[in-house]
């Protein structure tokens, strides 16, 4: 859950490293640091806090070097401090390393190295790697790195430099993302292509247990058997990776307002309206097997888990499949029967989520068909799965996911329809669904036009410390996601609940200081939701209703009302989440929270 950037070329390294860290800061922002070699000496500069503080610390330094490594950290081992910040070095300050991931056997290795006389300075697991390389070094750094990596248990993306290896950077990947950028007589490595976009559009995605060696005029990639590999060069879509707030105060607000376009991108070229079917080229290679599956298990975490929860209802509505939804972090602990009749669908914004990766590796071992929904091309989940669908939503910089969530819901719907049309979904049903899907961007624009009204409502709730979100059927997951958005960025306590469970416990919390956000679409759950609201009002609870019904029945029992357009029940959650995202954003902004970089969180969760 950290960001790595490396540069080797003909330009001054530090400005490029700092710029790369700024573009990676959403992956971690507890501390930051960089290392380079100047006059045959390792120079390492580190600071607690955000990259801007590292930039200030390096300003005015007279370091002359055209290669280096840098890192922005989300702490796992050791609290945020300059000592625990990366890069980490060996005993003699000749080797410097940055690391994204987690070393599970670091205590065992640390004790072994300490017994050999190695002196440790930090509490990090990363420092073990630097000392292990030092211990294995016998005048060939590449061999020492390979020997060291063979001892490591866990996940890692690492970059290594050595004072005796001028203009060379050594990169290794296992489980954590590393991308090589190819420029003109210069090379880059980063944990996210966002960091490389200003400098090159040519990318090579490393696979697990591959080592890349960069210098100022060439690079090569090997496997751990010392065999040179030929890797495909991908061309980055420049428009997809522009990082610009475009006049918005925060990336999160910009990304909320980008949803009409990101949803269009999710279904663009994937709808055949006159056949009532979706076209998903990413699934066609496994179509024969996909037609014969009997069971689908969805695995995901966080916001993607909420997309999966709603996906369960969507697949049950449109297909004949047996559906299970599982938190990826719990998947490996269950005794599941997986075989060729089962497909496992992994949903991940980053494509690198460690728990989700572990889940699909377990599923692969047992013979299941592996499918994926990810936003970033070339990521680990995209490489491991048998087939999948990309979001094509562009970068999402705000740590709290917004546009990727709604994009995932659109793609889940398209996949369910893709399968369902081979089963019992009729042409008329498929055509009706796709027609409604195409209307969503304009309907979202209508919601966004009322952002100022939603802001006024949000400000009336900003002082409350506790919130209950309730919904039924398709909007039970919506309640959970709405609550997650509020707690992520405003630090208010919020719980999402199926409304029918409210009287089985949570209603005991309700009083005048515990407001409820009720999601009340005009569908089959409407009357039951009205009853739930009445129960809350009888206990002096304040009610904010999200609804597409402006009639007195709901108005008279709600303290505040946010109206959204109406669509098919199966798609209504895509519209209902928009005002909840705005509601959370405006409360967090009013409270002075760092909306894009909430405390203790990072965008890409690459540790379990």
Q: Dihedral of the CA atoms 80, 81, 84, 86 (nearest 10)?
A: 90
Structure tokens at 260: 């009409």
C-alpha distances (whole Å) from 294 to each of 275, 298, 344 are 24, 14, 11
Q: Are 378 and 225 in contact, with CB atoms under 8 Å apart?
A: no
Strand residues in 54-168 grouped as ranges (E): 67-73, 88-89, 95-103, 154-162
Its sign, for the CA torsion 503, 509, 512, 518, is: negative
User: Nearest-CA neighbor of 231 among 217, 249, 210?
Assistant: 210
Which residues have a catalytic role annotated? 2, 603
Q: Quick one: which of 5, 270, 42, 327 has its CA closest to 161?
A: 42
Q: What is the DSSP string of 201-243?
A: SEEEEPPTTEEEEE-SS-EEEEETTS-B---PPEEP-GGGG--
3-state helix, strand, coil in the chain (%, to 5): 40, 25, 40
Placement of tokens 């997309």 in the chain: 307
CB 487 within 8 A of CB 494: yes
* Pair 189, 212: CB distance under 8 Å: yes
Pairing type for strands 369-374 and 387-390 reads parallel
Separation of alpha carbons 313 and 244, rounded Å: 36
- Of 599, 574, 604, the residue nearest 588 (C-alpha): 599
d(C-alpha 396, C-alpha 243), whole Å = 9
Question: Do strands 560-563 and 543-547 pair parallel, antiparallel, or not at all (unpaired)?
Answer: parallel
- Closest residue by Cα to residue 37 from 79, 69, 80, 5: 69
- The phi, psi pair for 168, rounded to 5°, reads -130, 140
List Cβ neighbours of 56 (8 Å cut-off, separation of 6 or more): none
Helix (H) or strand (E) run with residue 47 in it: strand 41-48
CA torsion angle 216 218 220 226 (round to 10)? -80
3-state secondary structure string across 426-489: CHHHHHHHHHHHHHHHHHHHHHHCCHHHHHHHHHHHCCCCEEEEEECCCHHHHHHHHHHHHHHH
Residues in the chain: 608
In whole angstroms, give the CA distance from residue 41 to residue 65: 11
Q: Which two tokens stand for residue 98?
A: 């940055």
Please state, in angstroms and rounded to a whole number, the distance separating the CA atoms of residues 128 and 151.
Answer: 11
Q: Which of 160, 100, 167 is nearest to 130 (CA)?
A: 160
DSSP bridge partners of 179? 190, 205
φ, ψ for residue 424, nearest 5 deg: -110, -5
């Amino acid at each position: 859950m950290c960001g790595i950037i490396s540069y080797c070329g003909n330009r001054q390294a530090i400005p490029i490293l700092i710029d790369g860290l700024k573009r990676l800061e959403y992956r971690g922002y507890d501390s930051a640091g960089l290392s380079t070699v100047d006059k045959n000496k390792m120079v390492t500069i580190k600071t607690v806090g955000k990259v801007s503080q590292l930039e200030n610390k390096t300003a005015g330094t007279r370091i002359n070097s055209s290669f280096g490594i840098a890192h922005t950290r989300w702490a796992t081992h050791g609290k945020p401090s300059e000592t625990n910040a990366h890069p980490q070095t060996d005993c003699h300050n000749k080797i410097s390393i940055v690391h994204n991931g987690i070393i599970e056997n670091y205590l065992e290795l640390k004790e072994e190295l300490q017994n050999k006389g190695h002196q440790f300075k930090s509490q990090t697991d990363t420092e073990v790697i630097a000392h292990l390389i030092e211990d294995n070094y016998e005048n060939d750094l590449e061999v020492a790195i390979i020997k060291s990596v063979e001892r490591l248990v866990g996940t890692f993306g690492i970059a290594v430099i050595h004072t005796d290896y001028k203009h060379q950077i050594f990169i290794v990947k296992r489980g954590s993302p590393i991308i090589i950028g190819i420029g003109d007589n210069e090379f880059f490595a980063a944990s996210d292509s966002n960091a490389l976009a200003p400098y090159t559009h040519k990318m090579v995605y490393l696979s697990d247990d591959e080592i890349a060696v960069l210098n100022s005029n060439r690079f090569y990639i090997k496997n751990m058997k010392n065999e040179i590999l030929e890797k495909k060069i991908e061309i980055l879509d420049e428009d997809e990776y522009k990082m610009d707030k475009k006049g918005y105060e925060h990336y999160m607000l910009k990304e909320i307002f980008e949803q009409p376009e990101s949803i269009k991108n999710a279904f663009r070229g994937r709808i055949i309206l006159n056949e009532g079917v979706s076209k998903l080229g990413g699934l066609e290679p496994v179509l024969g097997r996909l037609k014969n599956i009997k069971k689908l298990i969805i695995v995901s975490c966080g916001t993607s888990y909420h997309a999966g929860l709603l996906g369960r209802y969507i697949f049950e509505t449109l297909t004949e499949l047996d559906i299970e939804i599982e938190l990826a972090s719990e998947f490996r602990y269950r005794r599941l029967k997986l075989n060729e009749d089962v497909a496992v669908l992994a949903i991940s914004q980053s494509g690198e989520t460690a728990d989700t990766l572990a889940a699909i590796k377990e599923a692969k071992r047992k013979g299941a068909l592996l499918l994926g929904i990810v936003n970033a091309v070339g990521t680990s989940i995209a490489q491991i799965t048998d087939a999948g669908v990309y979001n094509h939503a562009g970068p999402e910089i705000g740590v709290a996911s917004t546009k990727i969530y709604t994009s995932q819901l659109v793609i889940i719907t398209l996949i369910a329809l893709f399968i369902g049309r081979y089963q019992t979904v009729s042409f008329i049903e498929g055509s009706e669904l796709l027609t409604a899907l195409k209307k969503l961007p304009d309907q979202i624009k209508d919601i966004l036009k009322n952002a100022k009204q939603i802001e006024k409502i949000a400000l009336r709730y900003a002082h409350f410390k506790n919130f209950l979100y309730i919904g039924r059927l398709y909007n039970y997951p919506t309640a959970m996601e709405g609550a997650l958005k509020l707690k992520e960025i405003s630090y208010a306590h919020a719980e999402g609940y199926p409304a029918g469970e409210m009287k089985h416990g949570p209603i005991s919390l309700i009083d005048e200081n515990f407001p409820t956000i009720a999601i009340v679409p005009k569908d089959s759950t409407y009357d039951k939701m009205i009853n739930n609201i009445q129960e809350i009002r009888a206990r002096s609870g304040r009610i904010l209703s999200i609804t597409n019904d402006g009639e007195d029945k709901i108005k008279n029992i709600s303290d505040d009302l946010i109206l959204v357009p109406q669509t098919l029940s199966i798609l209504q959650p895509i519209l209902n989440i928009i005002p909840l995202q705005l509601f959370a954003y405006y409360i967090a902004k009013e409270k002075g929270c760092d909306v894009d970089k909430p405390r203790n969180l990072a965008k890409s969760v690459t540790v379990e």
